[in-house]
Amino acid sequence: MDFGFNLSPSSAVELDKVDTSLFRELCRIEPGARTCIGCGSCSATCTASEHSGMSVRKLLLSLQRGKMRDVEKMLTCCMLCGKCTMVCPRGINTRRIILTVCRLYENVEGRI
């Protein structure tokens, strides 16, 4: 039946239902990943950001909110130049985090 409108699914994220296993695994290897303060320096300096939407800030947040599709998309955009690591005020080794997430993905068959 056509009611003349339709409902879009809720965009709310239920924090207690999100699968954050990959993020937790990442933090076990790179505890610094938890210390991001969302300042955006990494994205601002990233050469790939303007063209591809790459952002370490968003990558870390997406991992914590279960937005795995966004994570996958971003991972393919990084050129591993390391500029983000240079500017991070928390001293997070962002480049190594990107590599670690890639590696974790490889271990999970069928994810990428």
Partner 1 sequence: MENKDQILVIGGGVAGMEAARQLKSLGFKPILVEKGPALGGHVASWNRLFPDMTPVRKVLDPLTSSLEGVEVLLDTTVESVSRSQREYTVVLTRGRVIKCPAIIIATGFKLFEARKKEEYGYGIYDRVITNKDLENWFNTGEDGRVPDRPSAVGFVHCVGSRDIKAGNQQCSKVCCITAIKQAIEVKERFPQAEVYCFYMDLRLFGKKYEDFYINAQRDCGIHFIRGRVSEVAELIDGRVQVKAEDTLSGRPVKVKLDLLVLMSGIVCNPANNHLASELSVPLDEDGFLRSRDNIFSVTESDRPGVFFAGTCTGPKTIPETLSEARGAALGVYNYLKGKK
Q: Least CB distance from residue 58 to partner 1, whole Å?
A: 8
Region near partner 1 per CB under 8 A, out of 11-19, 42-50, 73-81, 98-106 = 11-19
Binding mask 47-86 for ligand SF4 (x = CB under 6 A): xx-----x-xx--------------------xxxxxxx--
Taking the CA atoms of residue 70, residue 52, residue 98 and residue 28 in that order, the dihedral angle to the nearest 10 degrees is -30
Residue linked to tokens 């990442």:
26
Residues 1 and 18: their CA atoms lie apart, in Å, by: 33
Find the helix or strand (DSSP H, E) in which 105 lies.
helix 94-107
Dig out the tokens for 4 from the structure. Answer: 């003349």
Binding mask 36-75 for partner 1 (x = CB under 8 A): --x------------------xx--xx-xx-x--------
